[in-house]
Structure 1
Amino acid sequence: MEYEYFQEIPNPVVMASVLKLHKHVFDGAELELKKLEEKKNILILVAKDADQVVGFKIGCEIDNQKFYSWLGGVHSDYRGKGIASHLMRQQHDLVKSLGYTKIRTISRNKRREMLLLNIKFGFNVIETFTSEKGTHKIVLEKEL
């Protein structure tokens, strides 16, 4: 497994693979490249098996002290191999080295594997809310 990170939108080949994997992980949901381009100080991490992106983690700056771990996932054929844990550790190390002191994420009870991974990595639930679409969301945060 090879891991890479980008502090900008990656080249079109890698980005196309990330968008395709996002669609697989999030039940057909499309991620628009424009949304990524609007993010401040974006950080994109990928796990690759040969040339295939099999895992990703995307985040961006909330403010100069706080980073938002926004999206991530691993292809269903590659789950249970520690890829998500490796990407999370790498993201936290990079974010800390960039001077952020806190990292925040938002999860859903429906995505239990990710929720449990966040708790395992030291995140604490700080609030919950219901989105405009009526989805219950869980906000987690961690000191780096």
Structure 2
Amino acid sequence: MKTIKLQGIHTPQKAIPAAELKPGMVTVWNFGYTSTVKSVEPTKSGKSVKCVIISDESGNEHTRTMRADRLVAVKEEETKNPIDKALASRQRTYKSIYCDIGTALGAFSTSELAEYYIQRFGDSALRYFLEQGIIAAEISKEKEAI
């Protein structure tokens, strides 16, 4: 995901093209002001989109026309997966990222982690890893038989 720098906010904010905005999304503007997208519709030419947004601070409704490719900062949705939550809220120590992530994942069973991995990355890399382990075990068993 791309990022943009907003005035008054130190860290770069995650952003999407205006054409990808959907009703219900929360947008972030300069100095941290937020608004909720009510509707999005393309203009006649298709080069721009007309968004109806509601300011979260004042409650006022505004219509903004933006180029379809303009990057708009969006607030990330709350992660529903407990593993994602654990990773996002892990304690960051001075040891290492490996230690921090390992500590955060320690609360989950192997089957939960395997299911999470398959959902997030697909099963091809996990399958390759398992096949290599089985092959190594079979080779080792044949060497012992000799």
Of the two, which has the highest radius of gyration? 2
Q: Same fold (TM over 0.5)?
A: no
Structure with the higher strand share, 1 or 2: 1
TM-score of the pair, normalised by structure 2:
0.21
Of Structure 1 and Structure 2, the greater helix share is in 2
